Structure 1
Amino acid sequence: MSRLITEGGGDGGFHKPGPADFDLPPIWGTDFGTFHAFGQEWVLGVTKPMLQIVIAAVLVFVFFYVASRKRAMVPGKLQYVGEQGYGFVRNSLGRDIIGSADFQRFVPYLFALFFFLLVNNLMGSIPFIQFPTFSRSGLVYALAALSWIIYNWVGIQKHGFVGYFKLQSVPAGVGGPILLLLIPLEFMSNILVRPVTLALRLFANLFAGHLLLILFALGGEYILAHQPIAYAPVGILAWVLFIVVSFLELLIQFLQAYVFVLLTAMYIQGALADEH
C-alpha cells in the first residue's frame, strides 16, 4: 500500500497512491532471477496475486466438493448453499442466456468462472489480504482470452471457419456499399475488441476501487497524525468514506464477477446463433 515519505528526518508529506502500489514484490522478499524485455528489468518470483489465485481455486474446489459429497433429499446447510450457488449460475447465467438447447455443456465453465472470480474479487475486502487479485491486468486478460477461445471455438465448430466469421462480420439484412464500412467494424467489435473490453471492465473497477480505499484510509491517517487539529474533521470524514466505499466495494466485487460471466454467456450464445 501507499506510504508516508519522510524528508530530512521530518514530516515530508503524503505519498499519493498510484499504480506503483499494485506492483507487489515477490513474497518473502525472494525471487528466482531477473531478465530484460521491452526496455525493462523483470523479476521472476511468486507474488501475492499469484498466491491468491491458487488459494481461490483451492477454496472453490474444496467448498463445492464438500457441499456435494454427501447429497441428500433434504439438504443440510452446506449442501443447500452449494445447490443455490450452482442453480444461480446454471439458470440465470446459463439457461436464460445461452438457451435451453445448448447451455448445459457450458455450465461447468460458467460455474467455475463465476465463483473463481467472486472469491478473488472478495479478497480485496478480506482483512490481512485486502488486495483484489484482478486489479492486476495481466491476470484478467488471461481469463478474457480463455473465454474468447471458448466462444470462438464453439462458433467455428457449429458454423465452420468461413461461416462463423461471416456470421460475426456481416450484419443480416444489410447489403450494398455500406458493407465496406460495416464489415471491418463488425469484425473488430465482435472478434478483436470483445476480450479487451471484457478484461478492462473487471480490471478498471477493481483497480479504481482499491485505489480509493488506499487514498481514504491512509489519507485520513495522515491528516489525523500529521496535520493541525483543525483538520481532524477532514481526517475523520476520510475514514467514514473508507468504510462506506468498503461496503460499496463488496457490491462491485459481486457485480463484476456476475457481469464478466454474463457477457461470456452472451458471447457464447451469439457464437451459436444462426443469425447475427
Structure 2
Amino acid sequence: MLSALSLFRAEDGEFSPPSIFEFYPEIVAFAGTPFAINRIMMIRLIVMVLLIVIFWLWTAKFNKAVKTGNVVPGRFQLLGELALNFVRKSIAHDQLGEKDGDRFLPLLTTIFFMVFGMNITGVIPFANIAGTSVIGIPLVLAGVAYVTFIYAGTKKHGIRFFKNSLFPSGVPKPFYILVTPIELLSTFILRPVTLALRLLMNMIAGHLLLVLCFSATQFFFFQADGLLSLFGVGTLLFGFAFTLFEILVSVLQAYVFTLLTTVYIQLALADEH
C-alpha cells in the first residue's frame, strides 16, 4: 500500500502538490472485471470486516458476562458499552425518546460506526485515505437515511406525511405556489444530497491537506537546498497538528451524520404530520 509520503512527485527538483487523481488509485485486484478493487475499495472491505469482528467480540463477551454473572466488564467490553451507550443515549434517546430511539437504534449504530470506521482510515499508516473520500459510501448512507425517514413518516402518518410536508398547515393557499416547491426541494431532494456532500467534502479536504503537509515535508528535507530545508520542520509540525484535527473531524462527521439522520426521522414522526 502507498503511504501519504509516497504520493508526491518531485520533477526536476520542483514540488508537485497532491491532486484529485489520488482518489482514483490503480486497480490492485480483479482488473478488467466488474469486481475490480482499488486501494480505497480494499480499505472499505477491511473496515467492514473489522467492524463485524469487533461487534461480534463485544456481543460474545457481553453474553458470557451475563451467563457467568460477572458484572465487572473488562476494558474491551467497557469500551464497547461506552461507545454503544453514546449512540443510544446521546443521539437516539435524546432525539427520538426511548421507544422510537430503541426502534431505530440498530440503524443509527451502524451508520455511526461505519462512518467513523471509514473516516479514521485517513490517518492510519499504509491506508492514508478515508473510505468515505469517494462518493460511493456517503451516497449509500445518505440513501439509507433518506429511505428511513420516509418510511418512518409514512408508517406513522400514511399518505398525510407527504401532504403535510408539502402543504404545511397555517399557510394561506395562494402561498403554496411558493412554499410547496421549496418544501419539496429542501425535504425530499436536498437532505440526502447535503448529507452525502458534507461527509465527502470533509474527507477529501482532510486527505489533501495531510498529503500536502507530509509531501512538502519530504520535499523540503530531501529535495530542497540550503535554508529551505528548515521549512520541513514547520510542515512536519503542521502535518501532525492536522492529523490530530482529522481524528477529531472523523468523530464529528460520524456524530453529525448520525444526528442529522435521527433529526430527520424525528421530524417525520412529529405529530404535526
The TM-score normalised by the length of structure 1 is 0.89
Aligned-residue sequence identity (percent) comes to 35
Find the counterpart in structure 2 of residue 39 from structure 1.
Answer: none
SS of equivalent to 1:14 = strand
Which residues of structure 1 form unaligned runs of 5+?
34-42
For 1:114-168, what per-residue CA distance to the aligned partner results, in whole angstroms no more than 9, with x for missing partners?
Answer: 111111111111111111110111221111111111111121121113x111222
Contact 1:94 1:103 (8 Å CA) reproduced: yes
Which residues of structure 2 form unaligned runs of 5+?
none
For the residues of structure 1 that align with 2:179 and 2:101, how far apart are their CA atoms?
Answer: 30
Find the counterpart in structure 1 of residue 271 from structure 2.
Answer: 274
Question: Between Structure 1 and Structure 2, how many residues are aligned?
Answer: 261
Find the counterpart in structure 2 of residue 17 from structure 1.
Answer: 18
Residue type of the alignment partner of 2:27: P
Q: Indicate whether 1:259 and 2:256 are aligned.
A: yes
Partner residue of 1:174 out of 165, 171, 177 = 171
Contact 1:122 1:132 (8 Å CA) reproduced: yes
Find the counterpart in structure 1 of residue 243 from structure 2.
Answer: 246
Contact 1:24 1:47 (8 Å CA) reproduced: yes
For the residues of structure 1 that align with 2:254 and 2:271, how far apart are their CA atoms?
Answer: 28
Following TM superposition, by how much is the alpha carbon of 1:84 offset from its aligned partner in structure 2, in angstroms? 1.2
Partner residue of 1:139 out of 132, 137, 140 = 137
Q: Indicate whether 1:65 and 2:56 are aligned.
A: yes
Find the counterpart in structure 2 of residue 45 from structure 1.
Answer: 36
Deviates more, 1:231-240 or 1:110-119: 231-240
Find the counterpart in structure 2 of residue 4 from structure 1.
Answer: 9
Following TM superposition, by how much is the alpha carbon of 1:12 offset from its aligned partner in structure 2, in angstroms? 5.1
In proportion to residue count, which structure has more helix? 2
Indicate the RMSD between aligned Cα atoms, in angstroms: 1.7
Contact 1:213 1:242 (8 Å CA) reproduced: yes
SS of equivalent to 1:220 = helix
Find the counterpart in structure 1 of residue 146 from structure 2.
Answer: 148
Find the counterpart in structure 1 of residue 126 from structure 2.
Answer: 128
Find the counterpart in structure 2 of residue 40 from structure 1.
Answer: none
Query: Higher relative contact order by CA 8 Å / sep ≥ 6: 1 or 2?
Result: 2
The TM-score normalised by the length of structure 2 is 0.90
Residue type of the alignment partner of 2:32: F
Contact 1:125 1:250 (8 Å CA) reproduced: yes
For 1:19-44, what per-residue CA distance to the aligned partner results, in whole angstroms no more than 9, with x for missing partners?
Answer: 1111111115x5034xxxxxxxxx86
Following TM superposition, by how much is the alpha carbon of 1:225 offset from its aligned partner in structure 2, in angstroms? 2.2
Contact 1:99 1:269 (8 Å CA) reproduced: no
For the residues of structure 2 that align with 1:175 and 1:99, how far apart are their CA atoms?
Answer: 33
- Give every structure 1 segment of 4 or more consecutive aligned residues whose post-TM-superposition deviation is greater than 3 Å: none
Following TM superposition, by how much is the alpha carbon of 1:197 offset from its aligned partner in structure 2, in angstroms? 0.2
